[in-house]
């Protein structure tokens, strides 16, 4: 899993990470600014793709925590689902 730095147009000019797994974009993390109070500095799973999509996106304390969670989710999903057929 790789984390590519990027700036995200959220209005705060937020720092982000494009998250790749095996050359596929699986998520975009956005670092929360001071406007977010207690969650400031945390990494927000803004869009997640495939098994990482869902209505309750988490905020991670740091990139390591994000990496662990994302990897676990992708592994769990791969264990129960067949690979997606190319159309």
Is 9 a binding residue for another protein by CB under 8 A? The answer is no
List C-alpha distances in Å: 4 to 65, 66, 84, 87: 16, 14, 25, 28
56 binds another protein (CB under 8 A): yes
Closer to another protein at the Cβ: 35 or 87? 35
36 in contact with another protein (CB under 8 A) = yes
20: helix, strand or coil = strand
18 closest CA partner among 60, 63, 58, 51: 63
Note whether 11 binds another protein by CB under 8 A. Answer: yes
CB 28 within 8 A of CB 10: no
> What is the smallest separation between the CB atom of 50 and another protein, expressed in angstroms?
19
1: its two tokens: 């899993």
- Exactly one of 1, 20, 39, 50 binds another protein (CB under 8 A); that residue is 39
Q: Write out the residues near another protein by the rule CB under 8 A.
A: 10-11, 32, 35-37, 39, 44, 55-57, 59
């Amino acid at each position: 899993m790789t984390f590519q730095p990027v700036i995200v147009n959220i209005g705060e000019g937020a720092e982000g990470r494009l998250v790749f797994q095996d050359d596929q974009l699986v998520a975009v993390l956005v670092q929360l600014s001071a406007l977010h109070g207690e969650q400031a500095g945390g990494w927000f799973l803004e869009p997640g793709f495939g098994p990482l999509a869902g209505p309750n996106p988490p905020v991670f304390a740091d990139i390591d925590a994000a990496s662990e969670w994302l990897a676990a989710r992708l592994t769990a999903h791969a264990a129960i689902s067949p690979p997606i057929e190319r159309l």
